[in-house]
Amino acid sequence: MAGINTTDPELGGTTFSNFNVDAIQELRANSGVMPAKIGHGAASFTDIITQSGSDRVHGVVFEFLRNAAFDARNFFDRSSVANLGRLPPFQRNEFEFTNGGPVVLPGIYDGRDKTFYFGQYQGFRQVLGTTQVMPVPTVDERRGRDLTAFPGDTLIVPVNPQIAGVLARYSAAQ
């Protein structure tokens, strides 16, 4: 990206958050031992050449929409007091635009064949609800006995009397 280091220091890969694919004109991938001017050791190196303006105005606009209306119900998704709908809320919008062309300021400057512009934007918005299933403690677990920790053995865990009152409020496991 014009000499800017976009390497992720933890993962070793590149980081392009919200980089618009329609703004790319060319990719050049290199692998093996890189020359000293590139650095960062042996691996791979990718040149990304972005589009530029031209004598004609050009661009792209798109939106990708996904939401709960298009999704199937998860086995655990049921209507409840907290969520009256059949699915948790989910809405995802990805959108972008690119635009390029000559710089023309009427009566001031005509940049055709000389000066060009190119701009891009990509956005991502998401609202995502999740279904969470919490196990209800068994009668043995409420008394401090765990029969599942070690097969054939019972693990005794002291239960604080203040917590025992809270555990008693859970409905019995079925």
> pTM, whole model, 2 decimals?
0.53
Q: Which helix (H) or strand (E) segment is 31 a member of?
A: strand 24-33
Within a domain: 174: no
Q: Is 32 in the same domain as 59?
A: no
Count CA atoms within 13 Å of residue 43 on its CB side: 11
Q: Look up tokens 């008693």; give the residue.
A: 168
Q: Is 102 in the same domain as 151?
A: no
Pairwise CA distance, residues 94 & 129, whole Å: 18
Residue 103 pLDDT class (50, 70, 90 cuts): very high
Q: Is 40 in the same domain as 61?
A: no
Q: Is 105 in the same domain as 149?
A: no
Q: What are 15-68's pLDDT values in tens digits?
A: 555 567 788 888 777 777 766 666 665 566 777 777 888 888 988 899 988 888
Reply yes or no on whether the pLDDT at 97 is more than 80: yes
